[in-house]
Structure 1
Amino acid sequence: MAPFGVILSAVLLASSKTAPQQQLLEVCLSPGCIADGAKETLSRLCAFAPPGVQVLPGKCASACGAGPVVMDIMTDDKKIVHKRVSGDVLLNLLLEGINNKDEKEGEEKNSSCAVPNEIIEGYEIIIQADDAMSKKDYEEAAALYRQGIDAALQIALDLHVGSTHSTSTAPPPGLEWLIRAHRLEAEARIKTHDAQTALEIATKAWELSNQTNRLCLEVMAQACQELKDAKGELNALRTLLVEMDPEENAPRDVLNRMRTLGFRLAKLEREAK
């Protein structure tokens, strides 16, 4: 079996062609599959999927005990159920779908592995950063997030920005994990009292998200508050609470947080008069 990174390289290179139709993969998130690691499979598929491959959370695939389960949704509404999708199986699934498209279009099957494996390296480093963050080792977390971002960001931008499946209103799905990593690095740097760097990183995350990620604005406002930059905090909160549409079906904790931020915004507006 080919090494994990080599398979990913083949996935990325094979996906560089423009495909007329997207491959749709749904990851079963039933309790049994979650216990088998489905959330990690979903996260990895979202991070590794090249342009032309859409990954979504799905419902029960009736393959309990064989998770993580991924359904390959065909254009004729047929479904292929893939069982125990993790590791090399996960990447082979992506590569198989891309090469099948090439064969249907009469193109030569692509098995080259010329593309470096920065994305997988960056992803694994960010997993380590998440672990450090959960242990409240904020200095280590910040350093690891930066290392992972630096490893993966440029190749991810080259792959996804300007692809035929990206839009001007939302970032390409393949960048979501890196936007999250930027935001969490900013949060870690606030904890280490480096609010200026945190603000710069959170602003970068906001830009990468095509100015759609609400959590980035929250971190920007928090960094500005630490810096005693009332104007910057006011602008961030106004964008979040006034200019952006309310989040649909937001959970109670998010609604409570927005309510608290609303009080903060009102206070800043009174002080600005």
Structure 2
Amino acid sequence: MFLMKGISSVLLFVLGGRQHQDARYWGRLARQPSSTSTSTSTSTATKTMLYNSAGTTAVEEEASRTTIEICLSPGCVADGANEALLKLQALSATSVSTSTSISTAPPMQVVPGVCCSLCGNGPVAKETTTSNSGSGSNSGKSKSHRKLNTNQKLLDLLLLGEEANLDPNQRAILEGIDLCLEGDKALSKKNYPQALEKYAGGIERGMDAAIELLVGDDDDDNNNNNNNASLQWLLQALCNEASTKLQTKDVDGAIGSAEKALELSQSSYAAALEVLQIAHQTRGNNDHKELEVLEALFVLYEAEAEQQATATTTGSRAKRKKISPMEANRRRTLGFRLSRLQAAAPKD
């Protein structure tokens, strides 16, 4: 019942009324293909077919793909697994397209993973390389990496070389992430001025570089589904910045940060819609805008539920996401809010 005007409202929300849009970033992102949530398959094989002049298959080339799964068990999270995941996802998008020293390395995909039974050694990553032998059969090998608790260890995992020799864009992204993580620490201590300073600095340092690397890698079909994952650190920082601004009564600033996250995600990031809904409800003078946000949000919730059902059917462990009772109650409350706003909305 939450989707009575879902499709039309989503289109209105995406196309209209963004007071804080930055045309420079929108122009860049307009060239990107539509992105979806992070793919979480544990391994994939890519087959390259070469054709002769007669149009028949001449050669079948062996290809491989490497998937890195980051353990997100409570112990590894306490050891910094979430931070490692953000950095690896952001830098993995650059590992093939920007580093000439590793141009022959197989493409890498970084995804949330499950427990590797290496408690106390976090952050832990499981690296799986799957190749196609050319005869239709797949072969693969796996290995685990422990204590990925420094930037250099993460760079080594992605074959990016020494931190001192990083590409300028890669360096900007890494430094931007580190600043935003400092903002997270300040926010957890309710030091809102310091948190805002760190978020602003980190976003300014890394946003241009992150977007340029994604736009430069648009032609690689293997990366089309990973744009949100590569920008996860930036989307998260913008949403946390928006939440911090709400704490300091800067509602307009919060809306600006949340809308920027929504723009960068091509309207596919639920957290941006969630904080945007809070901001509009706090402002209290635009029920129509809040209604559009809520309808767009529940479209994403429905898509997430379908993905979870597919993951359960296919047995993909890493793709499953259990909704906590607190989260379920929060969504139920938002559903009641949506129903009330829909009932009060002028009828066409």
Counterpart-to-counterpart distance in 1, 2:89 and 2:188? 22
1:225-253: CA deviation from partner (whole Å, max 9, x where unpaired): 22222111111112112575253353322
User: 1:91: Cα distance to partner?
Assistant: 1.0
Q: Secondary structure at the match of 1:193?
A: coil
Once residues 220 and 170 of structure 1 are traced to their aligned partners in structure 2, the CA distance between those partners, rounded to angstroms, is 24
Q: Which residue of 2 aligns with 1:204?
A: 260
Summarize the alignment of residues 25-36 of structure 1 with structure 2, pairs less than 5 Å apart.
Answer: 25-30=68-73, 33-34=76-77, 36=79
Unaligned runs of 5+ in 1: 1-18, 100-110
Q: What do the CA deviations read for 1:37-79 (whole angstroms, capped 9, x no partner)?
A: 4343333322332254211233344545544332221113211
Moved more, 39-48 or 121-130: 39-48
1:81 aligned onto 2:135:
no
In structure 1, the partner of 2:173 is 119
- Separation in structure 2 between the aligned mates of residue 45 and residue 242 of structure 1, nearest angstrom: 29
Is 1:263 matched with 2:336? Answer: yes
Amino acid of the residue matched to residue 66 of structure 2?
Q
Query: Alpha carbon RMSD of aligned pairs, Å?
Result: 2.7
3-state SS of the aligned residue for 1:212? coil
| C-alpha displacement of 1:144 | 1.6
* Native 8 Å contact 2:87 2:233 kept in 1: no
Q: Distance in 1 between matches of 2:71 and 2:279?
A: 37
Q: Supply the distance in 2 between the matched residues of 1:149 and 1:134 (Cα, whole angstroms).
A: 18
Higher radius of gyration, 1 or 2: 2
Aligned residue pairs total 241
Q: 1:23 aligns with which of 66, 74, 79?
A: 66
Quick check: 1:239 aligned with 2:296? yes
CA contact (8 A) 2:122 2:149 kept: no
CA distance, structure 2, for counterparts of residue 154 and residue 213 of structure 1: 19
Q: TM-score, normalised by structure 1?
A: 0.77
Partner of 1:153: 207
SS at match of 1:171: helix
8 Å CA contact retained: 1:186, 1:199: yes
The residue aligned with 1:93 is 157
In the other structure, the counterpart of 1:5 is none
* Aligned residues with identical type, % of pairs: 36
Normalized per residue, the structure richer in strand is 2
TM-score normalised to structure 2 length = 0.62
Pairs within 5 Å for 1:223-238: 223-227=279-283, 228-238=285-295
Q: What is the match of residue 46 of structure 1? A: 89
Q: What letter matches 1:267 in structure 2?
A: R
Provide the C-alpha distance between the structure 1 equivalents of 2:261 and 2:214, rounded to a whole number of angstroms: 16
Q: Which whole-Å CA distance do the structure 1 matches of 2:301 and 2:71 have between them?
A: 31
Q: RCO (CA 8 Å, sep 6+): is it higher in 1 or 2?
A: 2
Q: Which residue of 2 aligns with 1:220?
A: 276
